[in-house]
A and B are shown apart, each in its own frame.
Chain A
C-alpha cells in the first residue's frame, strides 16, 4: 500500500494531472507524521511517507490549497473523505481544483496505543500480516495490529471512500460501530458526576487552539474566538469556567457538521477526550431528528439547518428524556 501511494503521487505529478500533491512527511520522530505539499516527483520520492501513522486528516488543507493556481492531488483515508464531502457541501473546497485519491484504510496506529501496550523507546514499526513488528531501544517486539490501533479507529464508522476520482485498494462500506458507548457511560452518570468529569478534563486545557485549528469543521474565515467584535473573545479568557466553555461552544458550532473524524482528541496535547462532546451531540441529533452522518453524501439536509413540522419541540424533548 505504501509503495502504491508513493508511486501514484509521483505519477500524478509527472503526468501533469496535478501540479501539487498533498500528503504526509515525517516530522521530528518517525511516528510524528505531518501534512505536507510536494511539487515534484523528486520531492515525493525523497520526502513523502505513507505508513500506519498517517493519521492526520488532510481535507481541511484543501480549503486554502484549492484556491491556489493549478490542480492539487490529495490522498484521503475513508474518514477523511467524510470531511472532504462536508466541506464541499459548505462550498469551502473548489472540487474542480482537486484530484482526490482514496486510500483503503485498515486503521491507523498511534503512539498512545503502543505506550499503553508497555512499549518504550520505539524507533520504528512495520506491518507484517495482522501483526506489527515494533523496533525499540530494547529490541524488537511483535504486537497484534488491532491492539495498536488508535482509539478512534477501533470504533471506525465507515471504510467507505466518498467522492474520490480514483481509489487505491478496495472500496469499503459502513461498519457497525459502538462509538457511542463512552457517551452512554457519561449519560449514565449523575449530573454532579458528569459536571465533575468535564470540569476535571476541561481544566487541563491550555488553550493552545490545536483542536480548533485541526478541526475540518472549524474553518471559519474568522473564528468568533479571534474576533473582538463577537463579544466572546475576552470572556473565554476571563476565568477558568468561561475558559472551559470554549470547548462546549466549539462543539455547538460544529454540531451537525462534525463528521466525527476524531482529530480534536488526536492533537490535544493534554489528552482531553474532546471528541466525546461532539459524539454526544451527534448521538442526540440522531435520536431527535433521525440518523444523520455529516459528509456521507451531498444531498442530505443537516439536521441543524433543516426543519420539518415533525421535529420534536424542546419542551417535549426534556419531558421525554427526563421521564418527567
Chain B
C-alpha cells in the first residue's frame, strides 16, 4: 500500500494569495494512498525541507507530492531533500500550482479547484513511480563556438585561456563579424578595428583555438558533455596552408564587378578576394558565383600570379566531424531588409543609406577612404537626416519588429557627432521616438551630441522621403514644436532594426535550442541564467540572444565562457535516469524508434524468446543505451505497439494523470 505525503507550499503570497492552500491540503488528504497532507509558507526553506524529511521518517512515506512552483525551479532541491530522508529521489512529484495556477488566475475559488486537480494528477502519477538510479556520462573537453564575431572571439579566447581547446566556426571567409565593419565605437569613439583586430590575431595565434572559417554547422548529434558536430567547410578554391595572403591575385583578377559585401555593396571587389586588410585567416577565397574559371573554365589568372601555388580550382567542400562537450551560439545579428519601408525611398535613391552602410562611408578603409561623400554623385553632403526606429518598436510587428533594437540611439548620436566634428559646415537632424541611453557614460555621450555638437534632435517621425532634383525632400513632424517640417536633405540615414542572423533558426533546430517569436535564442532563465539555453550544454553569447551593444556582448561572451569552463572542468556528468526502456515482449523490431532517436541511443539485437511447445523464437528487439538516451521521449511516441516507455514518464503514468484531471 502506498503511503503518500502531500506538501502544499504558499510561496509567501505568490500561491497563498490566489489559492486556498489549507483547503488544497485538506482535499488532497482524502485522495487514496495519501497518509499525510500539510501546507507551509516556504517549502523550499530550511524549515520547510525539514518538515518534509520529518514526515517521510515519521509516516514512513513511499511517495512525496509537493504542490509548489515549476519543477524547473525546485525539483532538484526537493529531490535532494527526500533523498536525505532515505527516499529514492524519483519517488517525488511536483504539482506546479504557481506558474500553472496562482500566477495566471485571479479568482481564488477556481484557482483553488485547479490546484486540487493538479495535486490529484501528481498523486495519481506518484502512485506509479518507481525508484530510479542515475548513471554517469563523460565530458569531452573541447568547446565549439558558432560564429566568429566579437562575441564568439571573446568566448573562445576566455575558454582557451582556461586551458581548453575550442573551435570557432565562422560562415564568412574571415572572423571579425559586424564589429569589423564598424568605424568608431560609442561612447569613447575609439576605432573599432583598433580594438578588434588584436583580439582576432590573439584568437588565431592561441594554441587552443582552431578557427574554421568559411564553414557552417551541418549536423549536431549527442548531448551535453558529448556532442558530435559535423561542419561543412566550404570550398574556397585556395589552399589555406599555402596562401600567404599577399593579395596579388586580388589585384590581378580580371573579374572586377563583384559587389563587395564587406562594404555592403557600396563598391566592388574581385572574384578572388580577401574581405579586408586585417582578415583572419588572411587567406584569399574565390567567389564561385563570379569566377570565370569556375563558371566557364577560361581564365586562370590567379593561379598564374600565385607564387605560392595555393589556387586549387578543384577544391571540394570538406566535412569535418568533431566531438565537443559544450556548444556556444554566437551567431549575431543582421540589419533587417527595408523592402517594407519604401516611404524612406531606400530603394529609390542611393543617398538613402542604412546606418551600417554609413559606417562604411565614414570608415578610412571604406569605399570613400573615410571622406563623407554622397553615393549618388560623390559630392559633399551639407544636410543629413537621421531616422530612428526604422522597423524597431513597430506596432503589431507586421511591418517591422515590435522590440527596440537598443543600439541605434547610441550609434546615431555617434554618427551625428562624428559628422559635426569633421564637417562643421553640416546641419544634422535626428528624428526620434525616444532617445534611450541606459549604459555607463551613454547619456553623457548623447548630451554632448546635442549640447556641444549642435545636432538637431527632433522628437517625431519622418513621414516621407522623396528624391527630387538631386535632393531628398524629407517631410516630418516635430511633435514637441507641434509643426510639420520640410527639409531638403543631401543624405538620409536609416537606423534599420536588427534581427537575428538568418542562419540562427535552422541552427536552433539542429541544437534543439528554443527561440522566441523573433528568432532570438531563449535563455534558461531571463534573470538568473541569461547565458545558457534551456537545452543543456548549449550556451548563448552576444546578439543571438537579443539586441546588444559591444560592451554588453563582450560581458555576455565572457559569462558564457565561464559557464562552459565550469562544465568542461568536470570529468563526468550525472545523467538523468529518466531514459527510454523497451518492453521486449511487445517490441516489433520495426526500427521506428531508432529512426527518430536524435541521440543514436537505440540499437537492435536478435534475441531468443520462448515460444509455445518448448520452441525458441528469435526476434529482433530494441535496446536502449541509457548513457546516451536523453529521455526526450520521441521513441515512445513513434513506437506503434507502445513497447517503448520512458522511465519516470511512462505512458501509464501520463494516462493516470490525465484520468485524474478528467475525473
Contacts and interface: CB of A to CB of B under 8 A. Distances in A.
Given A222-B586, A305-B596, A90 B591 contact: yes
Interface stretch (A71-79, A137-145, A223-231, A270-278): A223-231
Contacts of A90: 588-592
Contacts of A89: 591
A309 interface: yes
A194 interface: no
A307 B620 CA distance: 25
B651 A231 contact: yes
Interface in A8-46: none
In this complex, which of A224, A257, A306 has the most chain B Cβ atoms within 10 angstroms of its Cβ?
Answer: A224
Interface in A222-250: 222-224, 227, 229-232
A306 B634 CA distance: 11
Interface string B580-601: 0000011111111001100000
Interface in A286-324: 301-302, 304-307, 309
A220 B589 contact: no
Contacts of A221: 585-588, 619, 641, 643
B32 interface: no
Contacts of A92: 588-590
B455 to A, nearest CB: 45
Contacts of B589: 90-92
A67 B604 CA distance: 18
A219 B651 contact: no
A126 interface: no
Given A91-B620, A223-B641, A309 B506 contact: yes
A222 B641 contact: yes
B655 interface: yes
Nearest to B591: A91
Contacts of A257: 640
Interface residues of B, number: 27
A4 interface: no
B591 A230 contact: no
Contacts of B641: 220-224, 227
Contacts of B536: none
B605 to A, nearest CB: 12
Interface in B483-526: 505-506, 509-510
A1 to B, nearest CB: 34
Interface string A191-231: 00000000000000000000000000001111110010111
Given A253-B640, A309-B510, A67 B588 contact: no
B638 interface: yes
A91 B617 CA distance: 15
B133 interface: no
B652 interface: yes
A302 B596 CA distance: 10
B510 A220 contact: no
B642 A309 contact: no
Contacts of B588: 90, 92, 219-221
Contacts of A91: 589-591, 604, 620
Interface of B: 505-506, 509-510, 585-592, 595-596, 604, 617, 619-620, 638, 640-643, 651-652, 655-656
17 contacts: A89-B591, A90-B591, A91-B589, A221-B619, A222-B641, A224-B642, A227-B642, A230-B642, A230-B651, A231-B652, A232-B655, A302-B595, A304-B638, A305-B595, A305-B596, A307-B596, A309-B505
